[in-house]
Structure 1
Amino acid sequence: MRLAPESAPSGSWALLARAVAEELAGVGTPVLVGVRPVEGRVPLLLALRPGTTRTALADRVAAALRAGADRAGLERPGDRTPSAVVVGDAGGWEAAGAGLRHAAEAATAAHGLGDRPWWDARRLDIDLLLWRLRDQPDLASFVERSVGPLLAHDRTARPALLPTLEAYLAHAGRKAEAARELHLNRQTLYNRLARIGELLGTDLDDPQSVLALSLALRARRHTG
């Protein structure tokens, strides 16, 4: 778990460690837990018992971590940047160090991606790569070239079109599913997609254009 930087005053770490350990005692599996105040991280190694799925264990552990952070006064409902819980690969002792480092880096990259009970480190590799490039001027330029006209439109006009593009991309171009998520009828969705294509000068049915837009929107979360 990586805490939001503004939520972890140094005097709270001992309280956090105790609260997290007490919460994890009820998870029902052996666990090694530490605290890394400098990085704002709580690293853990857990035993994945036979018959227990990785997902089920991750659900229980993520809930315990958040409950411990709440008890320590470091996380509250409605926090603007909630703590990020990232679950790495299950593996043996030989892979534990590399797995923890990957999960820790992915937890840093996961901030700003939205609030989920936990993230799978294996699904964050693109975001991790973009986060590592976040200070590169070329990445900011790529975002501006790809979606700048759309962002400029949304600053001055309504309805905002960025949520439509995000839903369309999140559903891999399946318009019916995107329309349901946005609570729009299909014709309204088609009209908005046409307007987005016009603003960006791109074809939203072209796979290369869709890939570029998806990367640009993910990069925007890290470049601000």
Structure 2
Amino acid sequence: MAGAGVPVLLGVRLPEGRVPLLAGLRAATERGAVAERIATALRAGVERAWPDRAGARPPVLIAGLAVGWDAAGAELRHAAEAANAACGAPSERGWYDVRSLDVDLLLWRLREHGDLAAFVDRVIGPLLAHDRTARPPLVPTLETYLRHAGRKAETARALHLNRQTLYDRLARIASLLGSDLEDPQTVLALGVALQARRHVR
């Protein structure tokens, strides 16, 4: 951390294999840049200590800004729990922002309840069954469509499809699920079910 130019208080939680730390920031706007430096330094340290794990990407989470010791403890506890929820969650950066994991954390807390698996099966079960036996798989199409907020032109570009092929796939998805992909409540349920799938495998 000193080499990364980040002043920290560092701890090690051996039972969980976690390294909690408090980083000093000069300004709240440094949050993302400091998180990037910390993630890079920690991964370099892992590779030096365990060369056989080169390329490993242990989850690095950044919590909120703490203004006192009580708040720091609560933020670290929140980050520790969110680390479990982060497993398998996509991240375009080298680290996760705890604030973007709220839904995943809620779903992770519900993972032991059969209701979560039943919810996933009820909402997207036919689609998952299709993808186990047929090609092309349709789950990636639905995920991309939802990630682009239902904008078909952007979805087609992201999937490298012509628009008619995308329309055909969306019609097939709607038919399999018996759902209207334009309905906001349906879209919400589909998005939550796709996220929940990571926690019930």
TM-score by length of 2: 0.94
Aligned residues: 198
User: In structure 1, what is the equivalent of residue 102 of structure 2?
Assistant: 125
Distance 2:119 2:28 in 1: 46
User: In structure 2, what is the equivalent of residue 112 of structure 1?
Assistant: 88
**SS at 1:45 equivalent:** strand
User: In structure 2, what residue type is equivalent to 1:42?
Assistant: V
User: In structure 2, what is the equivalent of residue 60 of structure 1?
Assistant: 37
1:25 CA displacement: 1.3
User: In structure 1, what is the equivalent of residue 116 of structure 2?
Assistant: 139
Structure 1 segment 122-201 matched on structure 2, within 5 A: 122-201=99-178
TM-score by length of 1: 0.84
- Match 2:75 to one of 99, 121, 124: 99
Distance 1:120 1:103 in 2: 9
- Structure 2 unpaired stretches of 5+: none
Structure number with the bigger relative contact order (C-alpha 8 A, sep ≥ 6) is: 1
**SS at 2:77 equivalent:** helix
Q: Does the 8 Å contact 1:179/1:185 carry over to 2?
A: yes
Distance 2:147 2:48 in 1: 35
Distance 1:111 1:37 in 2: 19
Q: Does the 8 Å contact 2:120/2:197 carry over to 1?
A: yes
User: In structure 1, what is the equivalent of residue 63 of structure 2?
Assistant: 88
- Structure 1: 4+ residue segments shifted above 3 A: none
Distance 1:90 1:75 in 2: 31
User: In structure 2, what is the equivalent of residue 76 of structure 1?
Assistant: 54
Distance 1:134 1:76 in 2: 31
1:176 CA displacement: 1.7
- Structure 1 unpaired stretches of 5+: 1-23
1:185 CA displacement: 1.2
What is the percentage of aligned positions where both structures have the same residue?
Answer: 64
Q: Does the 8 Å contact 1:33/1:42 carry over to 2?
A: yes
Q: Does the 8 Å contact 2:10/2:20 carry over to 1?
A: yes
**SS at 1:53 equivalent:** helix
